[in-house]
Structure formats: C-alpha cells, structure tokens
Structure 1
Amino acid sequence: MPRSRSAAVTEALGARVGSGRAWAVWGVGLSVYLLAVFHRSSLGVAGLLAAERFEIEATALALFTVLQLVVYAGMQIPVGVLLDRFGSRAMLLTGLVLMSAGQLAFAFATTFPLGVAARALVGAGDAMVFVSVIRLVAAWFRPRQAPFATQMTGQVGQLGAIVAAAPLSWALQHYGWTKSFAATSTVGVLLMVAVALVVADSPYPDGKVTPIRLRALARSLRLVWGNPGTRLGMWSHFVSQFSMTVFTMLWGFPFLVRAEGLSQSAASTLLMVMVGWVVVAGLALSWLVGRFPFYRSWIVLGVVASMATTWTLVLARDEPAPLWLLVVLVCTTASGGPASMVGFDLARSFTPLTESGRANGIVNVGGFSASLLTMALVGVVLEWREPSGVAAYGLDDFRVAMAVQYLFWGLGTVQVLRYRRRAIDHLHRLHPGAVEQMKRGEPFVHPGFVDREGV
C-alpha cells in the first residue's frame, strides 16, 4: 500500500534530526548562550573597578553576582514551565531583550542600587538561555549525538568568558566603564534577528509546544521532581559546577592578584587558559559519557575529587603557589564545567522531551544555588578576616575564605551517591532492561511518564 502524503512529509522532516539544519539551529542558540556567558562573566574582570566605581567592600561586591545568580536560580523552574509552554525560540528572544537592557543599564549606573538592579535584569535574561538551548538539543539531535551537543553547548559557550577575561579587560582599561559595557549590549540586537530567522522549536510539525492546564502542570512538576533521576542530575550539577563559576565570575581574579601575587594581565591569561581547557575537557567527557552512560555520576565525582585535591595543594601552602600549580588549579577547576553538563544528560535519560524544560530547570538550580552560596560565604569570610577592604586582602585571608568550597563538595558528593542508588532502583522498577542497556554502552531514551513514575 502506498504511503500517505503526511507520512512521507513526516519522514522527510524526521531526516532533519541531526542534519545540517539541526546544527544551524543549534549554532544560533549557542551564540546566544555565548553572549549570556559573556554578560554573566563580565563582572569577573571588572570586580576591582566595580569596587572603586560604587565605593563598596567585599560583601557588597559579592552581592552584585550573588543577586544575579539568585535571580537566575530562582527563575529556573518558572522558566522551565514557560519553556515547555512557549518553546525555545520565544524564550531566547525574551532572554536577549532582558540581558541587553540590563547590560546597557549597568553601563550608565553610578550608584550601588542601580548597579544591583541592572545585574538582576541580566540574571533574568540569562536564566532563559541555557535551558532553551538544551531543549533544542533534545528536539533536534539523535540520542547518540545529544551528549556531544550538550557538552559543546556548555563548553563552547564558555568562550564568552574568554571574551570577558581579555578583550573586555582591555576595553575597560582603554575606553572606560560606560563605553565598554554599552558596546556589549548592542550584540544582543543582532542575535535577536538571527534567532527570529533561523531557530525553530522542533523539526516536526507536531513538535510545537501546546498549552498546559494548571492541574496537569502541577502533576507534571510532581512527576519531574519526584523522579530520582532529576535530582541525581541536580546534585551532579550542584557538586561540579560551583567552583568554576565562583572562580570565573567573581573571586578567581582577585584571588590570583591579591593572594597569589600575579599581575592583572597574568591573571587574565590564566582565566583564558581556564576557559580554553573547558573545551578540551568537554570533548573528553562527551566521549566518556556517550561510551559509559551507566557510570556518568561516577565520572562527575572523579572530576570533583581532582578539583578538591588540587585546591588542597594550593591552599595548604603558606606562600604563593608556583605558576605550574596555578595552571593545574585552573584546569582542574575548569573541568567542573563539562562535568556539570552531565547533570542535563542524566535528566534527559529520566525525562521525556515534553517535560524537559522543567527537568532542566530543576537541574540548573543545583549548580547556581551552590555558586551563589559559595560566593556570598567567601565575601563574608574575607570581610570578617580583613575589615579594611578589598585592597588589604592577602594570601592568608583567601586561604580561609576559599576553603568554604569543601562544605559544598562534601554535601554534593553525599547527595549524588544517595540519588544514584535511588535512580537505579527507579529504572529497575519502572523501565526493566534500561540499566542493562546503559551498562552495554547504549543510550536510554525515555518512553514517556507512567502513572507511578514519580513515586
């Protein structure tokens, strides 16, 4: 019997999954994420200038980034719901508008409250970007391609931090605060055009988003949160991501300059090395995750162990570390970025595409909650140790302050081990054969929620 025209059209559209069109859609989404990382990281190299411009000390300086991340993390679940309702294209456009407006406002802010409000606006726009791109990956790529595309989203996107670390640092020195930040806000307008012309939510005509009833939404959130695989992804993100975020967004540059005695140019170079290593580590981890899906959480904990060990070697010294050890430090810390992407890959295994926005939002809360708490605690400890201000901070002050990371590594490790066990039991109970499939190195694609999924 000849196939119907609609079946032929569906098959033709299905051929677009993982095709050149898929890479084009992903490329535009990735460009938006790269810009979001740039805006997010811009305060990392401008922290000392911000302290002078707004006449603030360490706790207030940390508040800039902490509030930005509070907004980011607090919006993840609402953004996930909106993402499943309106789709990636609409959320990317909204995020670009908010980020561009926030960065422009930050350029002209001269008081601390206005500066904080501007960074909160940047955080609100940033909150909409990454999970939108990850949803595009789930929709446009095949299961074997998805781990690589997910890793590359996180790692290539970190090139935005390189732009913040070197060119922005140079621009701030030569053109000043207002011109530098105002210029960066204009890039978002160009990307709005690209998103409107290229990005589509799905390669299938029936893949469009649909309205969600409140009762169905509440049930869906319970299923997503009750699923131990979602929380395994969240805690994997929690334990691996925060150290790199804290280092690149706020405290790494002052640590390298004030504690380790490096020049500002040398510190900027190390931040560039750090972000460059993210891409290398991402390629390695994408292969490992794709090859050994059953051991993904163990891969995450292995990276965390390497970070904690290197930080111990640096913080245990009562004098500045040699340059080679600082290079090792920034590289191992940078590896936490790719490791945190594993959390989204875990969520993809335990959640169908229709619920992926909510699941990814929950996962994303993990790392950024840890990041904002760590940033705040580092600022509190520094100000407690040295009330005289940023200019007076030294090696001993940072040794104590940066040690707060161990609290979050410890908590995160316990929770990953706890929910790994629960997630395996969950698969055995509801999806027989899935565990054995992943042990063979084969990806598991979630077939859709069942009645007892979240129990």
Structure 2
Amino acid sequence: MTVGLFVWGFGALFYLLGFFHRVAPAVITSELMRDFQISAAALGNLSAFYFYSYVFMQVPTGILADRWGPRRLLTAGALIASVGAVIFALAPTFGWAGVGRFLIGGSVAVAFVGLLKVAVGWFAPNRFALVSGLALFFGIVGAVFAGPPLRILVDHFGWRSVVLFSAVTTLLVGAGTWLFVRDYPHEKGYLDFSNPPSHAKQKPGSGILADLIEVFTYRNTILLFLIPGGMVGCVLTFSGLWGVPYLATVHGTSPAVAATLTSLLLVAWAVGGPFFGWLSDRLGNRKSLYVAGCGISVIGWIVIVMVNGLSLVSLSVVLWVTGFASGSMIISFAFVKESVPVRLSGTVSGVVNMGVMTGPMILQPAVGWVLDRMWAGDIASGVRVYSIDAYRSGFALMLAWITLSFVLLFFTRETGCRQTVE
C-alpha cells in the first residue's frame, strides 16, 4: 500500500498541477482582460481552450493507457504541459495565450485517466472508488492553490512569473514520473493485485475504434458520460471563472474574499470525493448514493444562484454543502468501470472523463456569452461590469444541466460494487 501510494503520488502531483491551471483564470480575470483587451465571452473562450483540448484527448488517452500503460503517458503529458505553461506565461497576444492554454489542457488530460490506470495495477479492486476520490482530493488541492495563495503571489510577483514557476515544477514532476513510476507492482519486484496480461490483452481482432464502439454498447457508459458533466460543469464554471466576479457584484466582497469563498467550494468538493468513494465501497452501492449527492447539489446551486439576501456565513455553509455533495460525482469512475469488461477500463475512464470536462468546456464560454449579451455598458478600471440579472441568466444554464444529470441518474443500472461484465 505504501509503495503503491508513492508510485501513484507522482501522477497525483501532476493532476494537482493540472487542476491549478484549470481554475487559475478565475483569480486573474482582471489581469487577463486588461492585458489582452478582451471581453467576458473572449475570457470564457481563453479559459475554455484548456477544456477543448482536454476533452478531445480523453478517449485517445484512455485507449493509450490500455495499450501502452500510464507511465509513458504521464511523463509525456508533464513535459508538454510545462511547454504550454511557458507559452501561456510569455504570451504577447490573446492568440498565443490560447495556444498555451490549449497545450496545457491537452497534456494534463492524461493525468486523471493515468491515475485510474495506475490504481487498477497498484491497489486492490475494493479500494478503487476510494483511490479515485483521493485523486480528486489532490486535484482540488491544486485548485485551492489557484485561489487565495495564487492571488497573493500574483499581487507580489505578477501572474506571468507565477505561471513560469508552475512550468518548472511540472517539468520536475515529469522527470520524477519517468524515474519512479511503473505500470504494475511486478516491475518493482512486488506481487501484482491482478494479472497484468489480462488487463493489457485485447479481444482477438479488436482495434481502437472497435474498443470505443464496444464501451458505448453498455447503457451506463452513455449515461455516465452525460451525468458528471452537469455536476463538474457547475463547480468549475463557478469556482473556475465566474464565481469571483459574481460574488463581488452580488455580495459586495473583495476579490480576495470572493476567491476564499470559491476555494471553500473546492475544498468541500475535495473532501466529498474521498468520502463518497469510501462510503460507496463500504455500502456496496453506487446508484443511490450518487442520486442523493446530485440531488443535494441541485438544491444547493438553486440557493446560491437564486436566493437573495444570504449572509456570508449562510453562503459559506451552502457553498460547503454543495461542494461536498458534488464530490459524489467521483462514483462515476468506479460505477462505469464495473459496467464494462476490465480490459476496457482505461478506454471507458477516458470516455467518462471526457463527459466530465465537457461540462465546464461548454458552460464557461456559454455563461460569458450570456453576460456579454446582457451587458449594460458599465466599466470599472477598464473591465466590464455585469448585473445580477445577467449572472443569474448565465447561471441558469448550469442549473439546467445539473437538473438533467439528476434525472438521468435514475436510468443507470446498479452494479453493487462488483464487476458485472468480464
């Protein structure tokens, strides 16, 4: 277990850095809009460049994880991510900034699926949901660093210097991954939890396209592709881009306080992920627990977006409960892994993670588009200011998707925490 955590930890550090880049634009919205002279819609697209490539890479990543193993994927991803971070930090124009974000997103796309594939090799099957939750925890620690700590560092050193430092850190993580990570315990002289050839061996005559088509023949794959996108889309659209200016407008908070509140949402998400993963494994249930978590999240987002006059204490409590309940989305990965043949675990993990990231990829620029459509012409310090009604209209898109997620959960097929397809 200790050696497994050490090996798995390098991928977890890479995932942490990827999450840092994912939500960093939320804290530096003013700097980005000012430096590149862009509107809310353009800022939403700049942030979403990360998700465009991230989503595109999920299925190839899952397939390659099944066929090549996670070590090479994680190492290559870290190296390319460091290059993307350098381009973003030095970008003289909006176009170059987009290129940097695109490279970062596409390269860190391998992190989560690689982590899940390492978990298949290095941990017992009854630990999979818990380890998936711990992966989310590491990722959100990165997101928390992209909150108040990033704001403090940016105030002292500027956003470009901080992003350059993250590039160096990512490069070091990539080097450590190549040196210390192995795909299976036997490569370090330990006994395997499962027989590696059974995971690596493909069905006779199968190919990449055939594998992809096959995973979609299982009902849970389709549903669990759509469901987590609504939950994660809400969390990352709010905490990763539009929550800070929304809280400043609606509740009159400073950027630092608003960043703290959005980080609270992320911390709760980080705690909720391992908890729901552990509880799901312990109870031997996926569906009911997921339905409960998603239902609480729907109610929480309605309160956050639509209820007037919340005190900061009340708002903090609602953000915490909503974030914690949103951690139930981590059940998706164990749920879907048990719904398809084991040899396709990487492929189906990539498919579901593609659905996860489709949420923020669509919602971040969509909310920005609505904000620009409803902009009344107000400007402060060279940055557009949007009304409460504009924010609520934009966030209505979030509410619609997460409500759909809740409804679709009732159509999933329970696995009982057992591999239902061999």
TM-score by length of 2: 0.90
Identical-residue share of aligned pairs (%): 25
- Are the aligned partners of 1:150 and 1:341 in contact in 2 as well (CA < 8 Å)? yes
Partner of 1:430: none
Matches of 2:326 and 2:76 in 1, distance apart? Answer: 25
**Residue number in structure 1 paired with 2:106:** 124
The aligned residue for residue 369 of structure 1 is: 358
1:408 equivalenced with 2:401 (yes/no): yes
Deviation at 1:122, TM superposition (A): 0.8
Aligned length: 409
CA contact (8 A) 2:304 2:319 kept: no
SS of equivalent residue, structure 1 residue 128:
helix
Match of 1:310 among 294, 297, 300: 300
Shift, 1:410, TM fit:
2.7
Q: Deviations over 1:114-168 (max 9, x none)?
A: 1111111111112111111011112211122112111111123210011111222
1:236 and 1:202 map into 2 onto residues whose CA distance is 31
Task: Describe the SS at the equivalent of 1:154.
Answer: helix
Structure 2 residue corresponding to 1:444, chosen from 415, 418, 422: 418
Give runs of aligned pairs for residues 44-443 of structure 1, distance below 5 A. 44-204=26-186, 207=196, 209=200, 215-294=206-285, 296-318=286-308, 320-335=309-324, 337-386=326-375, 388=377, 390-418=383-411, 420=412, 423=413, 438=416, 443=417
For 2:118 and 2:76, locate their aligned partners in 1 and report how far apart those are by CA, in whole Å: 16
Shift of 1:83: 1.6
Amino acid at match of 2:102: A
Q: In 2, are the aligned partners of 1:259 and 1:393 still within 8 Å (CA)?
A: no
Aligned partner of 2:419: which letter? V
Q: 1:225 to 1:158 in 2, by over 3 A?
A: same
**CA–CA separation in structure 1 for the residues paired with 2:405 and 2:11:** 30
Q: Which runs of 4+ in 1 moved over 6 A?
A: 210-214
More displaced stretch, 198-207 vs 88-97: 198-207
Q: CA deviation at 1:187?
A: 0.1
Offset at residue 213 of structure 1 (A): 8.6
Q: Is the 8 A contact 2:74 2:177 kept in 1?
A: yes
Greater Cα radius of gyration, structure 1 or 2:
1
TM-fit CA distance, 1:86 = 1.5
Q: Deviations over 1:202-248 (max 9, x none)?
A: 12466275689984333222221111232243233223221111122
- Match of 1:412, as an amino acid? S
Question: Greater shift after overlay, 283-292 or 126-135?
Answer: 283-292
Q: Distance in 1 between matches of 2:126 and 2:160?
A: 46
- The two structures have a TM-score, normalised by structure 1, of 0.84
Amino acid at match of 1:304: C
What is the rounded CA distance, in whole Å, between the counterparts of 2:301 and 2:263 in structure 1?
Answer: 19
Q: Residue type matched to 1:408 in 2?
A: W
Contact 1:83–1:91 (Cα < 8 Å) also in 2: yes
Task: Tell me the equivalent position of 2:191.
Answer: none
> Do the aligned residues in 2 keep the contact of 1:77 with 1:358 (CA within 8 Å)?
yes
Please say if residues 24 and 146 of structure 2, whose CA atoms lie closer than 8 Å, have aligned partners that are also in contact. Answer: yes
Contact 1:238–1:340 (8 Å) recurs in 2: no
CA contact (8 A) 1:73 1:368 kept: yes
Unaligned runs of 5+ in 1: 1-18, 425-434, 449-455
CA RMSD of aligned residues (A): 2.2
